[in-house]
């Protein structure tokens, strides 16, 4: 087994993707249950989310064994399929209400047309991990960029989902503010050089995302348990999206991987100049 | 500290938050200012599915005054007193909206409706009074003598269930009692999801039931000057004007609703169409209604919004003369029927002999038509669809009576 494989950032990304694909399965099941899997195509992401983790697990084992060729093939195939599913999902979701009406109300209540891009993001991570050297600064920046894209999605969904009930409770603005801050703080390292102090603030900001996500999960679960439905499943399907807030800690982990790697690189290179600038 | 980096991050983050606030502030206040989150969510969530499944109901609702005023799907479909709720995709709703729901906002209107012949008497005419409490029967009998203490119309039994269901009941269920204790359904006239006052003011809305030989009001109206002008000028009228501020400028041509219900020029709206009626023209032999004097004054007051007193009084005088003349003709026919009964020549089974049908047609179709037309400006219906067929049926009735006596003498 290759030495230190578990301490390599690219292994963390592999594990991140594995857990995300697995985690998407129950989320997709609940989301598509709202319309009883009306279209056959709605089963595709679910089947993929259930089967892809097995392939990825095999890929990680080959990585641990130092066999990079099968690791690349398995990951690339899974990654491109994931990208394809995400893009096709986006197109299918585009047929939703908003694109028929183009009103603010229809935007609020439309199917989450950008949600399938989660698959695209995950697929891009797999391809990135195999096509860019994980030791290079570019790799870290791409990881941060993809985490940033995720937080941008979180921002949009926090706004539109909570607008559905008119931000009835003030607390519903918290994820909007949190995700906006995440977007702001993750954008900056991609456009200017930053120093150690900034990284610390970023990690604190990511810790905040974890807290917001866990609190959101608890609040959504509470709302669902006290919601309307014949049984718990119906309450969860029709109620607040119980897994959605967990995207915050999830993306915080991804952003953390990217920032941590970037920070490590700065430690050994131009740190002094960066620190001096501050 | 890297001030530039932090400043930039906060600017980006703040810009996003401000944009979210700005977008949210663009949402109509009537949509978001609701008593609970469910009410905010309801219409949008309902539309999400129903726009695909039943596009019209969402479209009609979105055009309605209800939508403009922030009345949500859940407002009307919530479970009112006496109703049973159903879990429906995250909401507890009542599928069948009844006046129990409408009266949560429109209580006074419902009270007016309940006093009207549109309510219980309408249902009793086809189903009998067993669905109503003794108190209700007594109360309504006082307001509408003979309308509550009566059996179901014999035709409903003779013609059979399917005919009654798709025929009689389709109209008379405007007064059907609901399981929640209310009566009727406001959507009969205001239509579902549009909840439109404009639709209720259309002659064709009243005409969905008030047409045909038994009460030809729609045909009479169409023939009248009122109807002709409405057909020509409908597009110039403001049928959507609120009922409490409706004026003759909005509806300078009257429809059924203008004279019988609307509160035009501050006259006070009513949902009891009997309130301004001084005669029971529907009856075999017409009598003044219990409140005839007051009712006639109210109706004349409406007429005077457009016409001079001399014209209004002339119409009433001529109408009363037609009523008297028709009563005489009906009474003459009735006398023949009574004598045939006394001679034992009429079966106790209703509608079993040609002579019974002839007499029924004489008063129920042509007598009614002549009387209604006299008050509504329908000359052709006074004459060729009223008095002439009455004469024709009188001749036939006499011939049938003679035939019965001749057969009996053999």
Per-residue pLDDT band at A275 (split at 50, 70, 90): very low
Percent of the residues in chain B that have a pLDDT greater than 70, as a whole number: 100
Answer whether residue A268 shows pLDDT above 80.
Answer: no
CA distance A143 to chain B (A): 18
Q: Of B24-33, B182-191, B380-389, where does mean pLDDT reach its minimum?
A: B24-33
Give percent above pLDDT 90 in chain A.
63
The answer, yes or no, to whether residue A205 has pLDDT greater than 90, is: yes
Q: What is the mean pLDDT of residues A177-185?
A: 97
B30 interfaces chain A, CB cutoff of 8 Å? no
Is residue B230 over pLDDT 60? yes
Query: How far is Cα B263 from Cα B269, in angstroms, rounded to an integer?
Result: 4
Q: pLDDT grade, residue A38 (50/70/90)? A: confident
Quick: pLDDT tens for B145-183: 889 999 999 998 899 889 999 999 999 999 999 999 899
Which of B3, B4, B5 is the best residue to mutate to test the A interface, defined by the most A CB atoms within 10 Å of its own CB? B5
> Given an 8 Å threshold on Cβ–Cβ distance, is A228 in contact with B91?
yes
* Minimal CA separation from B23 to chain A, in Å: 8
For residue range A209-266, what is the model confidence (pLDDT) as tens digits?
A: 999 999 999 999 999 998 888 888 888 888 889 999 999 999 999 999 999 999 988 7
Q: Which residues of B touch A180 (CB under 8 A)?
A: 12-14, 16-17, 20
Chain B closest CA to A184's CA: distance in Å? 4
Residues 76-95 of B with CB under 8 A from A: 87, 89-92
Distance between CA B228 and CA B310 in Å, rounded? 22
Residue B365's contacts (CB-CB under 8 Å, 6 or more residues apart) are B213, B214, B389
How many other CB atoms are found less than 10 A from the CB of residue B219?
Answer: 23
- Stretch B243-260: mean pLDDT, rounded? 95
pLDDT digit string (tens) for B254-311? Answer: 999 999 999 999 999 999 999 999 999 999 999 999 899 999 999 999 999 999 999 9
Q: HSE of B120 in the Cβ direction (CA atoms, 13 Å)?
A: 28
- B38 vs A contacts (CB less than 8 Å): 165
Which residues of chain A does B11 touch, with a Cβ-Cβ cutoff of 8 Å? Answer: 184
Concatenated DSSP letters of B52-82: HH-HHHHHHHHHSHHHHTT--HHHHHS--TT
Task: Place A122 in a pLDDT band, splitting at 50, 70 and 90.
Answer: very high
Residue A4 has pLDDT above 80, yes or no: no
* Tens digits of residue pLDDT in A63-95: 999 899 999 999 999 999 999 999 999 888 877
Cα–Cα distance between B184 and B196 in angstroms, integer?
17
A198 and B5 within 8 Å at the Cβ level: the answer is yes
- C-alpha distance across the termini of chain A, in Å: 43
Give residue A101's pLDDT. Answer: 63
A158: closest chain B residue by CA: B20
Give the per-residue pLDDT at A276.
32
CB atoms < 10 A from the CB of B310, how many?
8
Residue B248: other Cβ atoms inside 10 A = 13
- Per-residue pLDDT tens for B349-395? 999 999 999 999 999 999 999 999 999 999 999 999 999 999 999 99
- Cβ contacts of B400-408, under 8 Å, gap ≥ 24: B400/B354, B400/B355, B400/B358, B401/B336, B401/B339, B401/B340, B401/B355, B404/B340, B404/B345, B404/B353, B404/B355, B405/B340, B405/B343, B405/B345, B408/B343, B408/B345
How many Å apart are CA B113 and CA B187, to the nearest integer?
Answer: 13
**Cβ–Cβ contact B22 with A under 8 A:** no
pLDDT band at A105 (very low <50, low <70, confident <90, very high): low
User: How far does the CA of residue B16 sit from the closest CA of chain A (Å)?
Assistant: 6
pLDDT per residue as tens digits for the range B121-139: 999 999 999 889 898 899 8
The reply to whether ipTM tops 0.90 is no
Q: CB–CB of A183 and B41 under 8 A?
A: no
- Stretch among A110-114, B98-102, B108-112 having the lowest mean pLDDT: A110-114
- CB contacts of B16 in chain A (<8 Å) are 155, 179-180, 183-184
Q: Greater confidence, B69 or A180?
A: A180
User: Mean pLDDT over all residues of chain A?
Assistant: 88
Q: Which two tokens stand for residue B67?
A: 């939508």
* Residues of chain A contacting residue B37, judged by C-beta atoms under 8 Å apart: 165-166, 168-169
What is the mean predicted confidence (pLDDT) over B85-94? Answer: 90
Residues with Cβ within 8 Å of residue B120, at least 6 apart in sequence: B114, B129, B132, B136, B137, B140, B147, B148, B175, B177, B183
Residue A103 pLDDT grade (very low, low, confident, very high; cuts 50, 70, 90): low
Contact A159 B8 (CB under 8 A): no
What per-residue confidence (pLDDT) applies to A47? 95
pLDDT at A106: 67
Contact at 8 Å (CB) between B94 and B81? no
Q: How does pLDDT run across B316-357, given as a tens digit for each residue? A: 999 999 999 999 999 999 999 999 999 999 999 999 999 999
pLDDT-derived band at B313 (thresholds 50, 70, 90) equals very high
pLDDT score recorded for residue A232: 87
CB B144 within 8 A of CB B124: no
């Amino acid at each position: 087994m290759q030495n230190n494989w578990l301490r390599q950032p690219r292994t963390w990304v592999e594990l991140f993707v594995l857990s995300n694909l697995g985690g998407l399965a129950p989320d997709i099941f609940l989301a598509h249950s709202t319309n009883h899997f009306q279209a056959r195509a709605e089963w595709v992401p679910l089947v993929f989310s259930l089967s892809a983790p097995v392939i990825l697990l095999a890929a990680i084992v080959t990585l641990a064994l130092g066999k990079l060729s099968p690791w690349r093939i398995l990951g690339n195939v899974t990654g491109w399929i994931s990208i394809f599913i995400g893009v096709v999902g986006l197109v299918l979701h585009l047929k939703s209400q908003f694109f028929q009406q183009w009103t603010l109300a229809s935007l609020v209540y439309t199917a989450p047309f950008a949600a399938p891009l989660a698959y695209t993001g995950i697929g891009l991570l797999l391809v990135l991990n195999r096509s860019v050297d994980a030791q290079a600064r570019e790799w870290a920046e791409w990881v941060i960029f993809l985490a940033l894209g995720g937080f941008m999605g979180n921002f949009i969904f926090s706004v539109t989902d909570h607008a559905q009930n008119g931000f009835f409770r003030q607390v519903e603005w918290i994820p909007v503010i949190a995700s906006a801050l995440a977007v702001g703080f993750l954008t900056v390292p991609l456009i200017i050089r930053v120093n150690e102090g900034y990284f610390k603030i970023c990690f604190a900001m990511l810790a905040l995302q974890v807290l917001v996500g866990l609190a959101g999960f608890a609040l959504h679960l509470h709302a669902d348990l006290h919601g309307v439905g014949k049984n718990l499943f119906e309450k969860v399907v029709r109620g607040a999206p119980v897994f959605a807030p967990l995207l915050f800690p999830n993306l915080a982990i991804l952003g953390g991987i990217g920032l941590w790697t970037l920070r490590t690189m700065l430690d050994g290179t131009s740190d002094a100049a960066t620190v001096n600038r501050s | 500290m890297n001030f530039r980096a932090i400043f930039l991050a906060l600017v980006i983050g703040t810009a996003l938050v401000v944009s979210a606030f700005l977008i949210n502030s663009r949402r109509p206040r009537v949509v978001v200012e609701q008593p609970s989150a469910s009410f905010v969510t309801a219409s949008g969530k309902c539309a999400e599915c129903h726009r695909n499944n039943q596009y019209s109901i969402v479209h009609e609702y979105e055009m309605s005054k209800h939508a403009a005023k922030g009345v949500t799907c859940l407002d009307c479909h919530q479970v009112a007193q006496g109703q049973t709720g159903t879990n429906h995709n995250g909401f507890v709703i009542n599928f069948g909206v009844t006046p129990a729901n409408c009266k949560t906002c429109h209580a006074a209107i419902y009270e007016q409706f309940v006093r009207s012949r549109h309510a219980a008497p309408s249902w009793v005419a086809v189903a009998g009074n067993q669905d109503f409490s003794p108190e209700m029967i007594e109360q309504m009998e006082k307001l509408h003598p003979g309308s509550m203490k009566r059996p179901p119309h014999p035709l409903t039994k003779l013609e059979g269930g399917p005919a009654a269901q798709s025929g009689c009941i389709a109209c008379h269920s405007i007064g059907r009692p609901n399981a929640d204790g209310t009566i009727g359904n406001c959507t009969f006239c205001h239509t579902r999801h549009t909840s439109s006052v404009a639709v209720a003011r259309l002659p064709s809305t009243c005409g969905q039931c008030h047409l045909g030989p038994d009460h030809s009001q729609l045909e009479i109206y169409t023939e009248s000057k009122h109807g002709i002008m409405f057909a020509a000028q409908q597009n110039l009228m403001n049928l959507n004007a609120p009922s409490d501020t409706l004026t003759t400028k909005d509806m300078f041509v009257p429809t059924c609703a203008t004279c019988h219900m609307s509160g035009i020029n501050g006259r006070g709206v009513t949902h009891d169409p009997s309130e301004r009626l001084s005669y029971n023209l529907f009856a075999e032999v017409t009598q003044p209604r219990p409140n005839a004097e007051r009712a006639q004054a109210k109706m004349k007051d409406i007429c005077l919004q457009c016409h001079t007193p001399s014209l209004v009084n002339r119409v009433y005088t001529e109408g009363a003369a037609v009523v008297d003349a028709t009563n005489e003709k009906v009474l003459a026919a009735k006398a023949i029927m009574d004598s045939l009964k006394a001679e034992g020549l009429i079966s106790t089974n209703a509608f079993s002999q040609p002579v019974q049908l002839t007499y029924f047609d004489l008063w129920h179709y042509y007598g009614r038509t002549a009387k209604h037309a006299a008050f509504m400006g329908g000359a052709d219906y006074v004459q060729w669809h009223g008095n002439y067929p009455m004469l024709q049926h009188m001749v036939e009735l006499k011939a049938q009576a003679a035939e019965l006596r001749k057969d009996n003498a053999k």
